[in-house]
Chains A and B, each alone.
Chain A
Amino acid sequence: MKNIPVSALIGLFFTALYFLGAIFAPLLAPYGVGEVVGDVWEPASAEFLLGTDNIGRDLLTRMIYGGQTTIFIATAATVLSFTTGSILGFIAAEAGGWLDQAMSRFVDLIMSIPTLIFALVVLSVMPVTIPTLIVVMGLLDSTRVYRLARAVAVDIEVMDYVEAARLRGEKTTWIIFREILPNALSPLVAEMGLRFIFAVLFVSTLSFLGLGVQPPAADWGGIVKENKDGIVYGIPAALIPAFAIATLAISVNLVADWVLNRTTSLKGGRG
């Protein structure tokens, strides 16, 4: 653990900070999430550390609960996209033939529509709830994981140890989970950080557009939306959640970069 570069340490510190804040939100938040405690857009004071929002709720409380929602949705969507994407990718690589062709061409098709546009099209007919958001984001993102997982698995699939496993009569599930998965894990884990950031940015963008998390629940994109009118009057409340999104994304990125460098240098590949 001595060789962790400073940038990765900073990244780890802030990532941990945000995640802990999300987990212990009810303990940390000084007020209730929907509680109106002061005037509209009060400046920061000892009582309200970040000031109040557009209807007089404590902004720090909203930020803590908002972080919980944002991080929860992003994490769930990332987990979903990784499970579906990597398992389908491994199956495609292992099965080959028409199944591989059909799935890969379908993914090409979905990826040729911009993700945001596709999500908007789907959300126009689906009820906008947190589970819907997670499923839509997770499935749309799983196309990218699928491509990576398939590409990695195609290389592993021709290895001697996979051939050996096949010859000794192991079933497809064994080959996927015991032979391919452990060897494909490091590039997938490095990718996970990037997908997580993408999910955070994506859910924040949707909420900002008013099509993500619905009020009164708080989330970072939504807080920007609620307070954006203040900008014109010179009230920077909307910049605080946007700043939180940016710092979370940058710190996860720093960690992902470090993991990526470490795993590639272990293999001696792509420096």
Chain B
Amino acid sequence: MSPVFKLLAQRIALSLLLLLLISVVIFAGTMVLPGDVAQSILGQSATPEALANLRAELGVNDPPVQRYFAWLFGAIQGDLGTALTSGQDISEALASRFWNTLFLAFWAAVVAVPLAIFLGLLAVRFKDRWPDKLISGVTLASISIPEFLIGYVLMYLIAVKLRWFPSVAMINDNMSLFEKLNAIALPIAVLTLVVLAHMMRMTRAAILNVMQSAYIETAELKGLNAFQVIYRHAFPNAVAPIVNVVMLNLAYLVVGVVVIEVVFVYPGMGQYLVDHVSKRDVPVVQACGLIFAAVYIGLNMIADIVAILSNPRLRHPK
């Protein structure tokens, strides 16, 4: 087996192990913590009989290890249990919401990634001049502003005052792609703004780092033109850090989506999670937490794999 495959297999196995451990943490976090789950679902005024019934239904009386494995094997087979508050099958309820969330995150990424790389290159090209300074300033501002502020400012200005796009992002299966995109234009804009500055800044750092290497100077000195220097020497070495930046930000996007979905009343997984946290619907929270964590770990894993494939030095561990 070639060393690359071995490395990749190791990385994938590590991610799976991580996911397994996270399922333990999520399960332990909701089941072993102090506080009676049944009590918090039913409230202080619950009768002892109702509490006992709910505990039996939740399986709280079984040993935790047994409950964990029952939950885990169910989750692997796609059975996430039923929601306590509505009695609905969680996998069924989550399926369409999961695609809605991916749909939103996907289009945000389609807009944000090329834009961020382009602006990052621009910042490198005009290093220490006003475009670069402007980009630094915007970055500082954007890490300081809560996502919901960007959301509401855009909603106030664009949806309410200018009436260009709807203020609420409702989508359903009967809408055409164009109608859907029109409906989610504002959430896409907000998510783009949220990740753009960070992604831009990190792209700038990655390319600057490569451009300062000795081999770039050598390439310039041996008379290659600027295009060839970037295409033959800088780009292959900057791919890994840039892909890393992109993946980290996509992972961030998956989390940022939670708040944005609530702001724009978008029927996605984030809103479903938040709704059920306030209703203290533990099985739903566990399922959503696991899926969010899996997506997050998956994206980080892809970032590492691309880094391994694109960087010969990483293929040969010391």
Contacts and interface: CB of A to CB of B under 8 A. Distances in A.
A52 interface: no
B155 interface: yes
A6 to B, nearest CB: 14
A109 B22 contact: yes
Contact of A117 (B35, B160, B168, B293): B293
Contacts of B153: 239, 242
A86 interface: no
A205 B146 contact: yes
A231 B286 contact: no
Contacts of B263: 228
Contacts of B278: 210-211
A211 B254 CA distance: 19
Q: How large is the interface on A (under 10, 10 to 19, 20 to 34, 35 or more residues)?
A: 35 or more
A250 B29 contact: no
A249 interface: yes
A46 interface: no
Nearest to B34: A126
Contacts of A201: 144, 146
Interface residues of B, number: 53
A127 B200 CA distance: 40
Contacts of A17: none
B148 interface: yes
Contact of B148 (A115, A210, A242): A242
B140 A120 contact: no
A164 interface: no
Nearest to A109: B21
Interface of B: 18, 21-22, 25-26, 29-31, 33, 35, 37, 40, 140-141, 143-149, 152-153, 155-156, 160-161, 167-168, 251, 254-255, 258-259, 262-263, 273-274, 276-278, 280-282, 285-286, 288-289, 292-293, 296-297, 300
20 contacts: A112-B297, A113-B296, A115-B255, A122-B33, A124-B281, A125-B40, A125-B282, A127-B40, A197-B144, A205-B148, A208-B262, A209-B277, A231-B160, A233-B160, A234-B160, A238-B152, A242-B146, A245-B145, A246-B141, A257-B140
